[in-house]
Structure 1
Amino acid sequence: MASKPNIDLTRFSYAIQQKMNVMNAVMLRDMRTRFFNHGLGFLIQSLWPLSHMIVLLTIYNLAGRSAPFGDSLNVFFATGLVPTLSFMYISRFMSLSIVLNKPMLSFPAVTVTDILFARALLEIIAGALTLLLIIVVLWCTGANPTPADPAQAVLCYLSTVLLAVGVGTLAGVLVMMFELFVTIYALLCILFYISSGTLFVANQLPSSLAVPLSYSPLIQSVEWMRTAYFENYSDSLVDREYLVIFGFSCLLLGLGLERLFRRRIMEG
């Protein structure tokens, strides 16, 4: 009788090890297909969102726009671009990974969640490298990228990652059920970007616009990040619990749908 817990623990350890091996295989395949079959490709991939931000910041500077808050236009727009692009890149490529890695589902050990979470981990690491590069670029341009409240800035970024993984999981499962959804979600990402608050100050809009927009978890992320950076930035629209709950809800809903329709998904 005393050996039963040890047997259960051994089985559990074996299951965890097997799951890690599967995810490692999926990650290696992703790196070979998306990251140019070379380790340096992973670093290059981190430059895409960075180049995206640099182009947008250059446009804003050439347009002669002034910073609504703070002393640096680059820092102000970066506080919106970082959470917005982090969400878009992680969630979109999670949904796209299902299409790209569909042949791997022919192996019994590989599940939809293995593919989704393997891609999520790659995107999170790439996003962290991108964030580090952005900080370096801002320092090099003479701007100070240090937030007024570093703890809140970190919590906001982690909550945004949770949101991205949650929405990406839900989107990925929907893509397995309806492959057309991968195109629909790519179009939705454009709408998410426009309405994220990156290009405007949401709390300065009329309440008839600001209140409906505040139900977007992405605009919550942008507003939260800006309150962490600028002491005089209003937090009237910020609801931190809403952002976290929304992210967890999407994650649980995605996992629930995958479990409920697993046989149909695998047969399809």
Structure 2
Amino acid sequence: MNLQPPTALIRRSQTDIYLQVLNALILRDMRSRFGGSYWGYLVQMLWPVAHVILIVGIMVFREVPSPMGDSTMLFVASGAFPLLAFKYISREMMKGYLVHKSLTWFPQVKRIDTMVARAVVEICSSFMGFGVICLFLLAFGVDPIPVDITTAMTGYIAAIALGISVGTVNVGIVSIFPPWQIIYILVVLLVYFSSGLMFVAAYMPEQIYSLMRWNPCVQIVEWVRLGYEPSLPIQIDYLYILGWIFGSLTVGLLMERYVMER
């Protein structure tokens, strides 16, 4: 009678263990961040809508016409989509590491697992927020479907990827310099309001526009808006954006390997 060794019956693959650890971190992340209630998820999804309503209200109050098409609401939303994705992912990955840092004392939980778990939660939240904004636009009679869906969605995905890569660097920095968590809030606010949310950067004077293009978020916003208005006088430097994404990710992973505390 052929019997398998007992160790073969209880041995689990590293992939299974990793997925179970990741699942536990994601569930803990969601419960700790949103209070374990549906209201927490609702607030998270309504934040993007609140941003759009506030900025649209400011533009309407100041009687600023939409520089792209006829809908001020769609113009603001097309800029808010990518910027909010970058903002929350890059910031919350850092906070996620700090929340789960104590768990890394367990041998099964690695530092990078805490980053992946928070990134997964933020990506899902980002797409849910995206869907809520689309429903909000439809409710006001605004068509949220871009003229070039591929261009708009690849720009949005690039914003998510940039958020993940910069978030990885943030985790490395905050692990050795905790005040960075506060400083980065100010940095990301500056980026948020200077990346063309309420204006089209391409319409700025050439000298100013050439400097603004060094900010990858400016080009990502233009990338998304090019999907809504292909006639905009915009040329995207895709290699520059990809350089930021892969360069930041490389730096962040090297910091995780050689700089972060054991």
TM-score, structure 2 length as denominator?
0.91
Q: Is the 8 A contact 2:67 2:199 kept in 1?
A: no
Equivalent residue number for residue 166 of structure 1: 165
Of 257, 261, 264, the residue aligned with 2:255 is 257
Rounded to whole Å, the distance in 1 between the matches of 2:123 and 2:156 is 11
Equivalent residue number for residue 17 of structure 1: 16
Q: Is the 8 A contact 2:48 2:133 kept in 1?
A: no
What is the CA distance between 1:49 and its match in structure 2?
2.6
Rounded to whole Å, the distance in 1 between the matches of 2:38 and 2:138 is 27
Equivalent residue number for residue 5 of structure 1: none
Instruction: Say yes or no: does 1:225 pair with 2:228.
Output: no
Q: Counterpart amino acid of 1:217? A: P
- 1:152-231 pair list within 5 angstroms: 152-231=151-230
What is the CA distance between 1:211 and its match in structure 2?
0.7
Change (3 A) 1:107 1:39: farther
Equivalent residue number for residue 4 of structure 2: none
Runs of 5+ consecutive residues of structure 2 not aligned to the other structure: 1-10
Equivalent residue number for residue 123 of structure 1: 122
Q: Counterpart amino acid of 2:252? A: G
TM-score, structure 1 length as denominator?
0.89
Rounded to whole Å, the distance in 2 between the matches of 1:215 and 1:191 is 14
What is the CA distance between 1:229 and its match in structure 2?
0.6
Change (3 A) 1:126 1:149: same
Equivalent residue number for residue 31 of structure 2: 32
What is the CA distance between 1:39 and its match in structure 2?
4.9
| 163-172 or 224-233: bigger deviation | 224-233
Rounded to whole Å, the distance in 2 between the matches of 1:41 and 1:103 is 24
Q: Counterpart amino acid of 2:195? A: S
Equivalent residue number for residue 6 of structure 2: none
Instruction: Say yes or no: does 1:108 pair with 2:107.
Output: yes
Rounded to whole Å, the distance in 2 between the matches of 1:126 and 1:20 is 20
Change (3 A) 1:104 1:49: farther
| 46-55 or 148-157: bigger deviation | 46-55
Rounded to whole Å, the distance in 1 between the matches of 2:102 and 2:47 is 27
Q: Is the 8 A contact 1:196 1:222 kept in 2?
A: yes
Change (3 A) 1:195 1:241: same
- 1:56-75 pair list within 5 angstroms: 56-75=55-74
Rounded to whole Å, the distance in 1 between the matches of 2:234 and 2:22 is 40
| 158-167 or 20-29: bigger deviation | 20-29
Runs of 5+ consecutive residues of structure 1 not aligned to the other structure: 1-10
Q: Counterpart amino acid of 1:106? A: W
Rounded to whole Å, the distance in 2 between the matches of 1:180 and 1:109 is 28
Q: What secondary structure, in the 3-state scheme, does the structure 1 residue paired with 2:254 have?
A: helix
Q: Is the 8 A contact 1:138 1:144 kept in 2?
A: yes
Identity %, equivalent residues: 34
